[in-house]
């Protein structure tokens, strides 16, 4: 995954995004902390990440990242296909009074299972598209049943 800068960001942001090479190292560090901590909000993730940086054991394996960088890496992990981090469906109230999503890092087996399900869905869609092209069959988007073109 490549570092990002918004189109509206100044040229310095684009230059900084282009200079980052170890994004996957940073993502891996965030994932490792999330697996250690368990389900957490971004605020809790940042707090725990920064706290672990003070530990002699963790300091050796965690790169220093900004709070914003930690949140961005978590978002990238959630946006991956298949995702490495998921929304648990729970919300919790922050100190500010706002609600935040509780995120959870997936383990290797869960990622593989998601990857298999995703591959199955992609294969099914490719098969439907092939049949639509060759047989003139359309599939109802609501129920997935085939119907003939009129």
11-106 has CATH 1.10.10 classification: yes
136: left (phi over 0), alpha (psi -120 to 50) or beta: left
pLDDT in tens, 6-46: 677 776 666 555 544 434 788 989 999 999 999 999 999 99
Domain with CATH 1.10.10 in the chain: 11-106
- pLDDT of residue 1 exceeding 50, the answer is no
pTM to 2 decimals?
0.61
C-beta separation of 149 from 136 below 8 A = yes
CA distance linking residue 65 with residue 22, whole number of Å: 11
Mean predicted lDDT score pLDDT of the chain: 79
Q: What is the mean pLDDT of residues 96-103?
A: 96
Q: What does the pLDDT read at residue 122?
A: 65
pLDDT in tens, 115-133: 666 666 666 767 767 776 6
C-beta separation of 70 from 19 below 8 A = no
């Amino acid at each position: 995954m490549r570092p990002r800068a918004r189109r509206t960001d100044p040229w310095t942001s684009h230059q900084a995004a282009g200079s980052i090479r170890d994004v996957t190292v940073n993502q891996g560090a965030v994932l490792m902390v999330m697996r250690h901590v368990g389900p957490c909000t971004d605020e809790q993730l940042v707090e725990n990440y920064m706290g672990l940086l003070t530990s002699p054991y963790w300091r050796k394996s965690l790169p220093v990242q900004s709070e914003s960088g930690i949140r961005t890496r978590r978002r990238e992990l959630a946006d991956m296909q298949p995702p490495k981090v998921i929304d648990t469906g729970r919300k919790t109230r922050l100190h500010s009074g706002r609600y935040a999503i509780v995120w959870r890092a997936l383990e290797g087996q869960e990622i593989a299972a998601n990857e298999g399900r995703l591959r199955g869905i992609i294969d099914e869609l490719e098969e439907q598209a092939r049949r639509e092209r060759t047989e003139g069959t359309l599939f109802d988007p609501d129920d997935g049943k085939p119907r003939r073109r009129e």
